[in-house]
């Protein structure tokens, strides 16, 4: 260190405290980076890498960005998952003795972004903390969004896979996790795409308790695991942001058992918030349902979609609100008009509390609050009782609105530096400075007019610049008319600039008034912002209620547009949907009528629906639409059907579609088995399972055996309502052996040698798969189709001949073996004797199997062992 210059020594000492972040080191008008930071940043930001003398022989790598455009560069680094430590000059360079004092004022991380393009306007930016309590073997999750002021906590007492499921519901930008947990579960954590910050600081439980208690003084006792996670999260925020987050007013503890469980696979397969193909919102269920008018309403809708309810009472409350709007179009339109004028209250309030709200933010807050009385009045005048309950407790927060209206000018400048923010008449001293400044500028105009008259120089003008102050400018052609009282101040190419004693004296007064006016205006604005900040909790509660109303309105709009119906709920475990539709597909295929289908699922006769039919006929769509209908109902939305009577579903499991998981090195078949295992081992009798083409990722007989074993296991042990599509037509015979398995198929017809998909689900099994017909529809070359049909005919003929030969051989063997078995064993051929012994051994083994208490994989292994013995 001693060999470096004092400034580089300062840089290195600060950088040592923030080794995992880019250090944006303020030098004048630039943020500079040095050493490895500079090398990496130059690549990531595509900026020039230079060098600087630092007291050693080799030049130190360096790159930098202008301070006024730093935000865009920081955003690019954050989007890539990096962190940025903002190191500012904290003393005036003019008065500094030696190296200017610098400090890190804030560390920006993916989970602590407060503003900018990194933040999705209609989405949350969650930072999640995960901790473990070894005594109770439980995990604690604490979740915050610093941009909105949300703070949640829950405890998970099952296993880490459940932690992953909970994490996936939040789509976190950053996860703060204890080092031991991270190292132990690093493979599972790859399922959640986030920046992981490993927390290595070991803070005592008493200190964590104090941190949480100080922040949430009215918090009821919480579990140790939640306490640790919340304490770690708040400690991390204090460390990185260097301030206390006063807008975290409520720590909402929730029980995961209050919500439907949707694992990562199910969210992806059902395309709830983004499409599986290109991860875009468009084409997802969220895209369809999000007709909200406010950004905070959009975020709340997504949270509802991530956490469908298990409480019929809470669901019915939402449905009643939707119905009130559904049946009153004028009310819905009037509310929509008012909500369009409400800005993002949650994020404005957070910026106010954080201390970085601009005059424009306060103005938008006022404009939003001015809409609240009209919203209440519209609802009160309607006959919508469910909505009246929502708005009756609305706090108008008129004191805040009134304060901003009196103090902040309409449509103020974004920056305080420009001045002109505070209304005249609000602050007496500020008004005096304003008058002095205004009168001074008027005096300058009068001076210009007077000097022109006295000197006869018509082009004379009075001007100002920051270097020389106020001056009188005379062109060279008029210099002979300049009076002696003018004092030369500056010489230009085509003019001379002068001052007078009178102008010099007035300049001092004007500049002093301007400077003091800007300083005082800044102080007054801070006082106003602090006063608003003290009402954060009231404002947040109002924002939540407006968002709630906005989501109900969105549901009503979509339901009305597509003729959805209000679902009903039963306690019998039945799902009965008449003329159900897939809402997203129906919305995107404009001009093409959607073919609706019925479904009946229960624990008595229709527990498992075995669905057969060709590809492209609509099996997967049928399965998905049932799951999506259930989810829509349990978030409180009307559903796409003629009628829907549903039971409460606690979990939905899906295995739909196939694809290799390249990031973890898992094959299609391994992914398929993993998802299937999760379904059949974690589902309950109140769950819904969707399994599409199980077993197709391996050989035919292996796949068929696994598929059958899975079906039987669900029937005998799980009792979950299940939709199982398959191309193994042999499995349809299971309906004859198991009372709660029913065959259904997607109907097709052949016309002029072509297959026509009717997309209609009917009872019974399909007799053919129509694979070659589907290939033909896909545009496969005619030569390939013709050859495929010939090969199929040959294969079917071979299969028929082989079956006939096998039957003859079996009859011949039985004919030969039976009399020989009755004879003395000494007379039997040794090879035949071995065969008989093997058959007897296999029969004994099969007879002794406890199939009802065997997992599918165990059954598969035994079947494989038997097959190997018989093939020998």
Please identify which residue in the block is written with the tokens 């080799």: 58
Query: Do residues 726 and 851 both lie within one domain?
Result: no
As a whole number, mean pLDDT of residues 131-159 equals: 94
Whether the pLDDT of residue 751 is over 50: the answer is yes
Residue 271 lies in a domain: no
Query: Do residues 381 and 438 both lie within one domain?
Result: no
719 in a known ligand binding site: no
Query: Do residues 587 and 717 both lie within one domain?
Result: yes
How far apart are the C-alpha atoms of 123 and 150, rounded to whole Å? 13
Tell me the DSSP string of 32-67: EEEHHHHHHHHHHHT---EEE--SSSSPEEEEEEEG
466 in a known ligand binding site: no
Query: Do residues 692 and 772 both lie within one domain?
Result: yes
75 in a known ligand binding site: no
According to the model, what pLDDT value does residue 664 have? 44
Residue 118 lies in a domain: no
Query: Do residues 810 and 856 both lie within one domain?
Result: no
Query: Do residues 555 and 587 both lie within one domain?
Result: no
**What's the pTM value of the predicted model, to 2 decimals?**
0.82
According to the model, what pLDDT value does residue 662 have? 35
According to the model, what pLDDT value does residue 506 have? 85
How far apart are the C-alpha atoms of 599 and 582, rounded to whole Å? 13
CATH code, domain carrying 71: 3.40.1170.10
If we measure between CA atoms, which residue out of 27, 65, 67, 66 comes closest to residue 46? 65
613 in a known ligand binding site: yes
Q: Are 507 and 462 in contact (CB under 8 A)?
A: no
Structural domain harbouring 857: 823-872
843 in a known ligand binding site: no
How far apart are the C-alpha atoms of 473 and 452, rounded to whole Å? 11
**Collapsing DSSP states into helix, strand and coil, what is residue 257?**
helix
Query: Do residues 845 and 814 both lie within one domain?
Result: no
pLDDT tens figures, 1-60:
668 999 999 999 999 999 999 999 999 899 999 999 999 999 999 999 999 988 888 899
Distance from CA of residue 482 to its chain's centroid?
Answer: 71
573 in a known ligand binding site: no
Domain count of the fold of the chain = 7
Residue 772 lies in a domain: yes
pLDDT band, residue 783 (cuts 50/70/90): confident
673 in a known ligand binding site: no
Tell me the DSSP string of 325-372: HHT-HHHHHHHHHHHTT---HHHHHHHHHHT---HHHHHHHHHHHTTH
pLDDT tens figures, 473-483:
999 999 999 99
Task: List the single range of 318-332, 336-350, 683-697, 789-803 with lowest mean pLDDT.
Answer: 789-803
Tell me the DSSP string of 458-475: TT-EEEEETTTEEEEEEE
Residue 407 lies in a domain: no
According to the model, what pLDDT value does residue 661 have? 41
Query: Do residues 467 and 501 both lie within one domain?
Result: yes
469 in a known ligand binding site: no
CATH code, domain carrying 474: 1.10.1420.10
As a whole number, mean pLDDT of residues 307-315 equals: 97
Query: Do residues 517 and 620 both lie within one domain?
Result: no
pLDDT tens figures, 815-864:
555 555 455 444 555 666 677 777 777 777 776 776 655 666 667 667 76
pLDDT band, residue 806 (cuts 50/70/90): low
Buried-state track 190-200, b at ≥16 Cβ within 10 A, e below 16: ebbebbbbebe
């Amino acid at each position: 260190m001693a060999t470096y210059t004092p400034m580089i020594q300062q840089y290195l000492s600060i950088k040592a405290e923030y080794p995992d972040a880019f250090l944006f080191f303020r030098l004048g008008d630039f943020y500079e980076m040095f050493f490895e930071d500079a090398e990496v940043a130059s690549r990531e930001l595509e900026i020039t890498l230079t060098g600087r003398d630092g007291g050693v022989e080799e030049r130190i790598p360096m790159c930098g960005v202008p301070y006024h455009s730093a935000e865009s560069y920081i955003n690019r680094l954050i989007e890539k998952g990096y962190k940025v430590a903002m190191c500012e000059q904290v003393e005036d360079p003019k008065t500094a003795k030696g190296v200017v004092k610098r400090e890190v004022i804030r560390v920006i991380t993916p989970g602590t972004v407060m503003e900018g393009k990194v933040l999705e306007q209609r989405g949350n930016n969650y930072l999640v903390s995960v901790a473990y309590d070894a005594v109770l073997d439980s995990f604690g999750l604490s979740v915050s969004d610093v941009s909105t002021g949300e703070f949640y906590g829950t405890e998970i007492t099952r296993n880490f896979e459940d932690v992953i499921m909970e994490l996936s519901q939040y789509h976190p930008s950053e996860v703060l996790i204890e080092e031991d947990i991270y190292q132990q579960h690093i493979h599972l954590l790859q399922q959640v795409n986030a920046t992981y910050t490993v927390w290595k600081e070991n803070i005592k439980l008493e200190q964590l308790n104090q941190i949480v208690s100080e922040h949430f003084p009215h918090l009821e006792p919480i579990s140790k695991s939640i306490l640790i996670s919340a304490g770690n999260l708040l400690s991390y925020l204090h460390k990185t942001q260097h301030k206390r987050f006063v807008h975290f007013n409520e720590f909402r503890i929730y029980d995961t058992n209050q919500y439907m469980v949707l694992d990562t696979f199910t969210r992806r397969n059902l395309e709830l918030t983004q499409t599986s193909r290109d991860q875009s919102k468009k084409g997802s269920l969220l895209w369809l349902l999000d007709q909200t008018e406010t950004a905070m309403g959009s975020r709340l809708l997504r949270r509802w979609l991530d956490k469908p309810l298990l409480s019929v009472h809470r669901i019915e409350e939402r449905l009643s609100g939707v119905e009130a709007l559904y049946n009153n179009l004028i009310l819905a339109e009037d509310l929509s008009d008012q909500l369009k004028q409400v800005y993002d209250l949650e994020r404005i309030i957070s910026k106010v509390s954080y201390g970085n709200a601009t005059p424009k933010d306060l103005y938008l807050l006022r404009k939003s609050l001015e809409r609240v009385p009209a919203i209440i009045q519209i609802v009160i005048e309607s006959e919508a009782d469910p909505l009246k309950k929502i708005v009756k407790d609305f706090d108008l927060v008129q004191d805040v609105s009134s304060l901003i209206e009196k103090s902040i000018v309409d449509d103020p400048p974004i920056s305080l530096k420009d001045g002109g923010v505070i209304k005249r008449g609000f602050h007496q001293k500020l008004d005096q400075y304003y008058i002095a400044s205004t009168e001074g500028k008027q005096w300058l105009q009068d001076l210009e007019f007077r000097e022109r008259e006295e000197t006869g120089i018509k082009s004379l003008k009075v001007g100002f610049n920051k270097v020389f102050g106020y001056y009188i400018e005379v062109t060279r052609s008029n210099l002979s008319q300049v009076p002696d009282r003018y004092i030369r101040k500056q010489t230009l190419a085509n003019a001379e600039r002068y001052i007078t004693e009178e102008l010099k004296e007035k300049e001092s007064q004007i500049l002093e008034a301007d400077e003091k006016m800007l300083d005082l205006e800044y102080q007054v604005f801070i006082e106003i912002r602090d006063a608003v900040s003290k009402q954060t909790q009231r404002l947040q509660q109002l924002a939540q209620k407006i968002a709630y109303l906005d989501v109900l309105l969105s549901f009503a709009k979509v339901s009305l547009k597509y003729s959805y119906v209000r679902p009903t709920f039963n306690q019998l475990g039945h799902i009965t949907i008449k003329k159900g539709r897939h809402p997203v597909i129906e919305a995107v295929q404009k001009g093409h009528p959607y073919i609706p289908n019925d479904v009946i699922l229960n624990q008595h006769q229709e527990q498992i629906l075995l669905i057969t039919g060709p590809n492209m006929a609509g099996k997967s769509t049928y399965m998905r639409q049932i799951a999506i209908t259930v989810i829509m109902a349990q978030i409180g939305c009307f559903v796409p059907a003629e009628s829907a009577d549903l039971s409460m579903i606690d979990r939905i499991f899906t295995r739909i579609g196939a694809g290799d998981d390249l990031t973890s090195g898992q094959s299609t078949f391994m992914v398929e088995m993993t998802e299937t295992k999760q379904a059949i081992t974690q589902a309950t009798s109140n769950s819904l399972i969707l399994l599409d083409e199980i077993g197709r990722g391996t050989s035919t007989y292996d796949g068929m055996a696994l598929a059958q074993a899975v079906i039987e296991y669900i029937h005998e042990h799980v009792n979950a309502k299940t939709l199982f599509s398959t191309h193994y037509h042999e499995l349809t015979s299971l309906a004859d052996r198991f009372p709660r398995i029913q065959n259904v198929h997607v109907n097709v017809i052949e016309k002029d040698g072509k297959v026509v998909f009717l997309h209609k689900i009917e009872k019974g099994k399909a007799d053919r798969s129509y694979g070659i017909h589907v290939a033909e529809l896909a545009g496969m070359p005619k030569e390939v189709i013709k050859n495929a049909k010939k090969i199929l005919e040959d294969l079917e003929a071979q299969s028929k001949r082989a079956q006939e030969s096998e039957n003859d051989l079996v009859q011949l063997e039985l004919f030969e073996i039976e009399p020989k078995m009755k004879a003395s064993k000494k007379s039997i051929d040794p090879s035949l004797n071995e065969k008989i012994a093997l058959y007897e051994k296999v029969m004994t083994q099969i007879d002794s199997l406890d199939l009802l208490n065997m997992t599918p994989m165990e059954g598969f292994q035994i079947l494989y062992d038997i097959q190997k013995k018989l093939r020998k």
